[in-house]
Amino acid sequence: MDVRCLEAVILNAIKAVEGERTSSSVYHLLKGKKSAQTIQDAHLYRLTKWFHTAPFLTSSSFESIIKKLINQGYITGDLYRPFAAREGIEEMNRCFLQTGTFPELSGWQFSGTASVFFSRLQLLVQVASHFAYHDKAYYPVTRDEVLHEWVKRFLKQMPCSKEVLASSLYRELEDLFQLLPEQPECIVIRFSGHNQTGKTLAQAAEWMDMEETEYWFRFLHAIHSIVNSVTALPHKTPLLQKVIMDIYDPLTLTLSARQTADYLKKGMTVDQIASARQLKKATIEDHIVELALNDPAFTIRPFIEEEKEKAVIKAAKSVSNRQLKPIKEQLPDHSYFQIRLVLAKESRKS
């Protein structure tokens, strides 16, 4: 396999944006930048699964990968605006044929949950294991005091005794592992316990005989699958519910967009909210687009009439439904905000 898994993911994103966005937009998406443009790109280009799935990337490492793919002939264009070449798409497909396309990966939905969930789970598994062996002499897997305090609260509130914590947690995880789209080992080998030290990411990749970024995406895929199962099966996972309950929200919004939503519920206009929050009108409009992207119950009707909405949908079908300027040229009486709002709403249906 000529390309690493990470490079296949980058090629996939570049292919999706089709030269309509710069390479930096792909970088920000994979890094999980919560800007209005990146959030909208993730939805409009159907790349939400990859959002914040490569937080370890740096701008220099990303640029090096783009240069490498250009030199290999897998990307045409330049560093600023790359295009996926036919050879690159073929190589990407060969890679995904081996690794799979990670169908249960959901970066936008779980990016704020998965890493905290796994950190808590790692520490909880270690604590439960040492409880089972009546061993108090061990070093916690993390020095993070926030996690330590969380575990203390968990132990006071958990729905079982310390004596059966390990067996109860084991049963819940065993049931979830049977639903995993990946090998359970890719998670299990990261756990520490009594006389057992969990492996680092690099050690886990070597142990599983995988290229490191392939292991990373498989691991993340498995964690997202578990988080999804825990949220979907609350009656079967009482312990894991306690792990996730305060870090998962099915409505994925930035804090600022939530605050704008609160003002909207009070009947305030865009201009009034901008004044009250001392923000630009365009920023409030970005929040409203974010609400349209993420909240199925949100109505765009206060901001655009039905006939004008239909006109945007019709115009979008005649051009790329992600390019605003050609639509605006057809609809001079529409604002860019109204066009973005309709496209945001429509993207939820795809």
**Mapping DSSP to helix (H, G, I), strand (E, B) and coil, where does residue 87 land?**
helix
> 46: phi > 0 → left, psi -120 to 50 → alpha, else beta; which?
left
Is it true that 5-101 and 255-347 share their CATH fold?
Answer: yes
Number of CB atoms found within 10 A of residue 208's CB: 16
**Mapping DSSP to helix (H, G, I), strand (E, B) and coil, where does residue 186 land?**
helix
Q: What is the pLDDT of residue 321?
A: 55
User: What's the CA angle centered on 24, arms 20 and 26, to 5 degrees?
Assistant: 70
pTM here? 0.87
Q: What's the CATH fold of domain 5-101?
A: Arc Repressor Mutant, subunit A (1.10.10)
Each residue's pLDDT, cut to its tens digit, for the chain (350 residues) gives: 478 999 999 999 999 998 888 999 999 999 999 888 899 899 889 999 999 999 999 999 999 999 999 999 999 999 999 999 999 999 999 999 999 999 999 999 998 899 999 999 999 999 999 999 988 888 999 999 999 999 999 999 887 888 889 999 999 999 999 999 999 999 999 999 998 899 999 999 999 999 999 999 999 999 999 999 999 988 899 999 999 999 988 778 888 999 999 999 999 999 999 999 999 999 999 999 999 988 888 999 999 999 999 999 999 888 865 678 889 999 999 999 999 999 989 887 66
Could you tell me the two tokens for 287? 């929040």
Q: What is the pLDDT of residue 341?
A: 93
Helical segments of the chain, H only? 5-17, 23-31, 36-44, 59-71, 86-99, 107-110, 114-132, 145-157, 162-177, 185-188, 201-207, 212-232, 238-244, 255-265, 270-277, 281-294, 306-318, 324-330, 336-347
The angle that helices 23-31 and 5-17 make with each other, rounded to 10 degrees, is 120
Domain ranges of the chain: 5-101, 114-244, 255-347
Q: What is the pLDDT of residue 320?
A: 65
CATH of domain 255-347: 1.10.10
